[in-house]
C-alpha cells in the first residue's frame, strides 16, 4: 500500500474523525465520512477550517489537489468503495465490535480497517469480524492533521503483512507510525501520559500547585526536551560521558523513595473537580477553545519547522514527508510526453489564501516559491532526482531576477512556462513565466542562473552525461522560440543560447 490510495472512509465525524478526514484530504484522497447526526457537516466545519489554516503554514512543498470530503449516513455508503478505512466512533467496546463487523461486511476484502481507539484491545474489537486479519489499531494524537505519531497495534488475528501495509500508508501521509508489538491496554503514549496525569491530580489535590503552575513546570522545563528527544535519551545525556549506566547508578536508588503517588489516584470528589475546573478557567483567561486550538496549531507548526532545520524528531518526519511531496508533485512531469518546441508547462497551482498579503494578492515570497517549484520540476525532468542528489550532485540557484507584471488574488489558478536559454554542463540558464491559467495573463517572469555542484568536492563541477544530454534535447527543441524580451537584463550567460 502506498499513497496511490484515492478513496478512504472515516467512520465517525467527531474531533478525531474530522481531523483524520482533513489529513487524508490534504494528501489528495477523497474521503467519505460516516456520521448519522443531522448536523455532522456543521460540527466538522470548525475542525476542517483549523486544519486548512494550519496545513497552509506547515510546508512550502507542493501538495496534491485536495480530496473531496463527503458526509454519508450509512456504513455501506461510507466503506463499500473505500481503499482505506479509519474508525473513530465513541470509545465503547460493544459499539465498536458491532461496528467493525458491519464494516467488515461491506468493505472490500483487501482493504485495511484501522481504529483510532486510545486504549481498547484490537483482539476484542476484531472478535466478530469474518476477516479480522485486516483490522488493527491506528491510534493518533490530537490534532491528527498535524501530530505525526500514530500507534499501530495488531490483534491476535491481525496479519503482520497488513501491519506493514498500514505503517507504509501512514508514513506516506506524513505521519510517524510506531509499531506497538505487544497488545496492551492504552498502548504506550497514553500510559505515559496517564502516569503524569495521576501525579498532576495529586499535586492539585494536596494544594501543592495549581493547574497553571503544573503546566508551566512542563512547558518551560522537561516538556521542551521531551518534544525532540523523549525520556531515555535525555537521561542518557544527564549521565555525562559515562551515559545511561552512570545515570542509573546515580539516580536509580531514588526510584524507591516515596516521591510520587503513581500507585494511587485521588478521589475525584466534587470539591476537587470544582477546584480543577476553576483553575482551568483561570488559566484560559477567557480565551475560547477555538482560539486555543489555533494557538496550539501555530506553536506546533513553528516547532516542527524549527526541528526540521536540525533534521531531528518530528522535524525529520516533516522533512521526509516534504521530499515525498516534491517527488509526487513532479512524478507526472517526468512521465508525461513534452513538446520541446514550446515553453514547458511543468508546474501549476491554485493561489492559497495563506499566500496572500494584506492587499489580498500573492506576496513576493510566494512568487519566488512558485518559480522554485517550477525549476525543481525541470530538474526532475532532466534527471536530477532523489537518486542523483544522494550522490552529492545537484544544481543550485546562483542568481535570480523577478519582474512582477500583474497581481493575482487568492484561489485563482496559475501555471508556469519554462524556457531553457542556455547550458554548458556546469551552468543552467532558465527563463520562466507565471501565467493566470484562466486568462493567460502574464503575472510575473523569473530568470535564474543555476550552477551544478559536487558537494563532496565542494565546488562547481560538470553535470553527469545523461543530465547534459537531456538538457541538450530540450534546448535543441526550444531553439526556435523567440528570446523573451525581458531576458538578460540582470543575468548574463555569454552568447544567447550558448551550450
Class of domain 189-286: mainly alpha
CB 371 within 8 Å of CB 448: yes
Task: Give the whole-number percent of the chain exceeding pLDDT 90.
Answer: 78
pLDDT, tens digit, 9 for 90 and up, residues 351-369: 988 899 888 899 999 999 9
Q: What is the CB neighbour count within 10 angstroms for residue 147?
A: 17
Please give the pLDDT value at position 492. Answer: 61
Residue 267 exposed, middle or buried by CB count within 10 Å (0-12, 13-18, 19+):
exposed
Query: Average pLDDT of 115-122?
Result: 96
> How many angstroms from the chain centroid is the CA of residue 329?
15
Query: Average pLDDT of 58-78?
Result: 91
Distance between CA 171 and CA 413 in Å, rounded? 30
Please give the pLDDT value at position 354. Answer: 82
The conformation of residue 4, written as its DSSP 8-state character, comes to T
Please give the pLDDT value at position 434. Answer: 97
How long, in residues, is the chain?
Answer: 499
CATH homologous superfamily of 7-179:
NAD(P)-binding Rossmann-like Domain (3.40.50.720)
Residue 438 CB partners (closer than 8 Å, separation 6+): 412, 413
Please give the pLDDT value at position 261. Answer: 76
Please give the pLDDT value at position 499. Answer: 43
Q: Looking at the domain 336-477, which fold is it?
A: Thiol Ester Dehydrase; Chain A (3.10.129)
Distance between CA 320 and CA 304 in Å, rounded? 12
On the question of pLDDT at 2 being above 80, the answer is: no
On the question of pLDDT at 79 being above 70, the answer is: yes
Which of the residue ranges 16-25, 52-61, 197-206 would you say has the lowest mean pLDDT? 52-61
Band of residue 1 on the pLDDT scale cut at 50, 70, 90? very low
Q: What is the dihedral sign for C-alpha 273, 278, 282, 285?
A: positive
Task: Give the whole-number percent of the chain exceeding pLDDT 70.
Answer: 97
Which of the residue ranges 84-93, 117-126, 348-357 would you say has the lowest mean pLDDT? 348-357
pLDDT, tens digit, 9 for 90 and up, residues 273-325: 899 899 999 998 998 988 999 999 999 999 999 999 999 999 999 999 998 88
More confident residue, 401 or 259: 401
Band of residue 3 on the pLDDT scale cut at 50, 70, 90? low
Buried b (16+ CB within 10 A) or exposed e, 320-334: bbbebbbebbbeebe
Please give the pLDDT value at position 496. Answer: 44
Band of residue 491 on the pLDDT scale cut at 50, 70, 90? low
Please report, for the chain, the start and end positions of each structural domain, with discontinuous segments joined by +. Answer: 7-179, 189-286, 336-477
Please give the pLDDT value at position 498. Answer: 46
Distance between CA 101 and CA 310 in Å, rounded? 45
Please give the pLDDT value at position 250. Answer: 83
Please give the pLDDT value at position 337. Answer: 84
Band of residue 72 on the pLDDT scale cut at 50, 70, 90? very high
The conformation of residue 455, written as its DSSP 8-state character, comes to T
Q: Assign 3-class secondary structure to 482-498.
A: CCCCCCCCCCCCCCCCC
Please give the pLDDT value at position 313. Answer: 94
Query: Beta strand pairing status for 344-350 and 413-423?
Result: antiparallel
Distance between CA 177 and CA 166 in Å, rounded? 9
Q: Count the alpha carbons within 13 Å of 296 in the hemisphere toward its beta carbon.
A: 16
Q: What is the CB neighbour count within 10 angstroms for residue 420?
A: 26
Place of cell 515570497: 365
CB 10 within 8 Å of CB 88: yes
pTM here? 0.83
Q: Distances from the Cα of 355 to the Cαs of 235, 256, 438, in angstroms?
A: 42, 56, 19
Average pLDDT, the chain: 92
Which of the residue ranges 69-83, 116-130, 145-159, 334-348 would you say has the lowest mean pLDDT? 334-348
Amino acid at each position: 500500500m502506498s499513497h496511490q490510495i484515492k478513496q478512504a472512509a472515516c467512520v465517525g465525524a467527531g474531533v478525531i474523525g474530522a481531523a483524520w478526514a482533513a489529513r487524508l484530504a490534504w494528501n489528495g484522497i477523497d474521503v467519505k465520512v460516516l456520521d448519522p447526526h443531522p448536523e455532522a457537516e456543521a460540527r466538522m466545519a470548525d475542525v476542517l477550517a483549523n486544519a486548512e489554516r494550519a496545513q497552509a503554514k506547515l510546508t512550502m512543498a507542493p501538495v496534491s489537489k485536495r480530496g473531496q470530503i463527503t458526509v454519508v449516513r450509512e456504513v455501506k455508503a461510507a466503506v463499500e468503495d473505500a481503499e482505506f478505512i479509519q474508525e473513530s466512533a465513541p470509545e465503547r467496546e460493544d459499539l465498536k465490535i458491532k461496528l467493525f463487523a458491519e464494516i467488515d461486511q461491506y468493505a472490500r476484502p483487501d482493504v485495511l480497517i484501522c481504529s483510532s481507539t486510545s486504549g481498547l484491545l484490537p483482539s476484542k474489537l476484531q472478535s466478530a469480524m469474518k476477516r479480522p486479519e485486516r483490522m488493527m489499531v491506528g491510534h493518533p494524537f490530537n490534532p491528527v492533521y498535524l501530530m505525526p505519531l500514530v500507534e499501530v497495534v495488531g490483534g491476535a488475528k491481525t496479519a503482520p503483512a497488513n501491519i506493514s501495509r498500514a505503517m507504509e500508508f501512514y508514513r506516506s501521509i506524513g505521519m510517524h507510525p510506531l509499531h506497538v508489538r505487544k497488545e496492551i491496554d492504552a498502548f504506550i503514549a497514553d500510559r505515559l501520559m496517564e502516569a503524569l496525569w495521576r501525579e498532576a491530580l495529586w499535586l492539585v489535590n494536596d494544594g501543592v500547585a495549581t493547574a497553571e503552575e503544573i503546566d508551566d513546570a512542563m512547558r518551560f522545563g522537561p516538556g521542551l526536551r521531551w518534544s525532540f528527544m523523549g525520556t531515555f535519551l535525555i537521561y542518557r545525556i544527564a549521565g555525562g560521558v559515562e551515559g545511561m549506566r552512570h545515570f542509573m547508578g546515580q539516580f536509580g536508588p531514588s526510584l524507591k523513595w516515596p516521591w510520587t503517588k503513581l500507585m494511587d489516584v485521588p478521589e475525584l470528589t466534587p470539591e476537587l473537580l470544582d477546584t480543577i475546573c476553576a483553575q482551568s478557567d483561570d488559566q484560559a483567561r477567557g480565551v475560547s477553545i477555538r482560539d486555543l486550538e489555533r494557538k496550539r496549531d501555530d506553536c506546533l507548526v513553528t516547532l516542527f519547522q524549527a526541528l526540521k532545520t536540525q533534521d531531528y524528531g518530528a522535524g525529520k518526519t516533516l522533512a521526509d514527508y516534504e521530499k515525498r511531496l516534491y517527488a509526487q508533485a513532479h512524478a507526472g512531469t517526468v512521465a508525461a510526453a513534452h513538446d520541446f518546441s514550446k515553453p514547458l508547462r511543468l508546474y501549476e497551482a491554485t493561489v492559497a489564501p495563506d499566500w496572500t498579503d494584506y492587499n489580498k494578492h500573492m506576496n513576493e515570497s510566494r512568487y519566488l516559491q512558485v518559480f522554485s517549484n517550477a525549476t525543481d520540476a525541470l530538474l526532475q525532468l532532466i534527471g536530477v532526482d532523489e537518486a542523483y542528489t544522494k550522490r552529492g550532485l545537484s544544481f543550485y540557484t546562483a542568481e535570480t531576477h523577478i519582474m512582477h507584471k500583474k497581481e493575482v488574488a487568492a484561489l485563482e489558478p496559475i501555471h508556469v512556462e519554462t524556457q531553457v536559454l542556455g547550458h554548458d554542463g556546469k551552468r543552467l540558464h532558465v527563463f520562466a513565466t507565471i501565467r493566470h491559467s484562466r486568462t493567460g495573463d502574464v503575472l510575473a517572469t523569473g530568470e535564474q542562473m543555476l550552477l551544478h555542484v559536487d558537494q563532496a568536492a565542494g565546488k562547481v563541477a560538470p553535470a553527469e552525461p545523461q543530465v547534459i544530454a537531456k538538457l541538450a534535447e530540450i534546448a535543441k527543441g526550444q531553439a526556435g522560440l523567440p528570446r523573451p524580451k525581458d531576458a538578460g537584463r540582470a543575468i548574463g550567460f555569454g552568447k544567447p543560447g550558448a551550450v
